[in-house]
Amino acid sequence: MAVCVAVIAKENYPLYIRSAPTENELKFHYMVHTSLDVVDEKISAMGKALVDQRELYLGLLYPTEDYKVYGYVTNSKVKFVMVVDSSNTALRDNEIRSMFRKLHNSYTDVMCNPFYNPGDRIQSRAFDSMVTSMMIQVC
Amino acid sequence: MPLHTKKPRSPTSVSPGGSPGAILLGQTCLHQGPGQKTSLSVLEGMGFRVGQALGERLPQETLAFREELDVLKFLCKDLWVAVFQKQMDSLRTNHQGTYVLQDNSFPLLIRMASGPQYLEEAPKFLAFTCGLLRGTLSTLGIKSLVTASVASLPTCKFQVVIQKT
């Protein structure tokens, strides 16, 4: 379902980025990069309003390619960006939310690992396998 | 990373009036020399790393913080309860970036005799906690300097100064 998953640090550099079909990786990287601007916009817009666990639904960034990009921001300003292929049935909101919750839990586990230095790229195998499980469901 | 901002002039820990003055972490450093200072820094560094992890895990289900005071309240309530099973007793601020958190019966000091007897030993137990506070604040996006002071066991105050960049 998810075609590309990225974890972006507070300072807007990627901590983890992975795409499912390994061709056209650059296209996904670029998509994630452009979505960061929209994420920042939404964060500052919601600054004073009643803030909720924000979910960012952008719709189709590139109408020709039929992808949807979702975003999620944690309390520590770490952003998760997920690109899904919407050629199959549109995923329900709940499913996206649960995928982000799993991402958040795994990221928290990575943070709590005393051998992980905050700010490094994420190389945890557990995190990798969790992301793989989210991406494999297509076939 | 400095643990204290003021250096006291005399090495004794009790002021002549009979009532103990506030002890800053640096005072014991003057007593025991550079080895003590390094170990306090190491302790503070460890607390910092733990604080960073806790700052990620504890607010996971809470809504995003709207302002600095909310983050400090989170420290006093949720963080203290998670680590010490009790809340911080008081939080004061000058609304200009300095907060004083006071704990009247700090769990790490409660086992020692109350009063001024072990004031010199207190900094060892406070260094880790200062790092913990600093680490949690750093994950939540606030750069700060945390110092601790003890007037008489087991009451201690943590002073958090927000660094504006």
CA distance B97 to B38: 28
Give the angle B26-B160-B45 at the CA atoms, nearest 5°.
Answer: 60
- Please indicate whether, in this complex, the C-beta atoms of B60 and A105 are within 8 angstroms of each other: yes
State whether A108 and B60 contact (CB < 8 Å): yes
Best A54, A75, A97, A103 residue to mutate vs chain B (most B CBs within 10 Å): A75
Interface of B with A in 73-132 (CB under 8 A): none
Residuewise pLDDT in 10s, chain A (139 residues): 678 888 998 888 888 888 877 667 888 888 888 888 887 877 776 655 554 544 433 333 343 366 778 888 888 888 888 888 766 556 677 788 788 888 888 999 999 998 998 888 888 899 999 988 888 764 3
Q: Are B53 and A112 inside 8 Å of each other by CB?
A: yes
Q: What is the DSSP string of chain B?
A: --S-S---SSS-SS-TTSS--PEETHHHHHHH-HHHHHHHHHHHHHHHHHHHHHHHHGGGSSPPP-SHHHHHHHIIIIIHHHHHSS--SEEEE-SSSEEEEEETT-TTTTTSPSBSTTGGGHHHHHHHHHHHHHHHHHHTT--EEEEEEEEEBTEEEEEEEEPP-
Instruction: Write down the pLDDT at residue B5.
Output: 43
A62-69: list long-range contacts, CB under 8 Å, 24+ apart: A62/A31, A67/A3, A67/A31, A69/A31, A69/A32, A69/A35
What would the pLDDT profile of B19-53 be if each residue is shown by its tens digit? 333 334 444 444 556 788 888 999 999 999 999 99
Q: What percent of chain B has pLDDT over 70?
A: 79
Q: Name the closest residue on chain B to residue A48, using Cα atoms.
A: B66
Q: Which residues pair with A85 in a beta bridge?
A: A67
Q: How confident is the model at residue B8 (pLDDT cuts 50, 70, 90)?
A: very low
pTM of the model: 0.77
Q: Does B59 lie at the interface with A, CB-CB under 8 angstroms?
A: yes
| pLDDT computed for residue B144 by the predictor | 92
All structural domains of chain A? 1-132 (3.30.450.70)
Q: Does any CB of chain A come closer than 8 Å to the CB of residue B136?
A: no
| CB–CB contacts below 8 A, A to B | 44
Q: Choose among B57, B59, B63: nearest Cβ to A112.
A: B57
Closest chain B residue to A50 measured between Cα atoms? B66
Collapsing DSSP to helix, strand or coil, A2 comes out as strand
- Of B52, B62, B140, nearest to A111 by CB-CB distance is B52
Q: Does the CB of B55 have a partner CB in chain A at under 8 Å?
A: yes
For residue A49, the chain B residue with the least C-alpha distance is B66
* A131 HSE (CA, 13 A, CB side): 23
* Residue B145 pLDDT class (50, 70, 90 cuts): very high
Mean pLDDT across chain B: 79
pLDDT at A97: 79
What's residue B7's pLDDT? 43
In this model, does residue B129 exceed pLDDT 50?
A: yes
Triad A23, A29, A31: Cα angle to 5°? 110
Contact yes or no for B64 and A53 at CB 8 A: yes
Residue scoring higher pLDDT (A54 or B148): B148
Dihedral angle of Cα B151, B144, B139, A13, to the nearest 10 degrees: -160
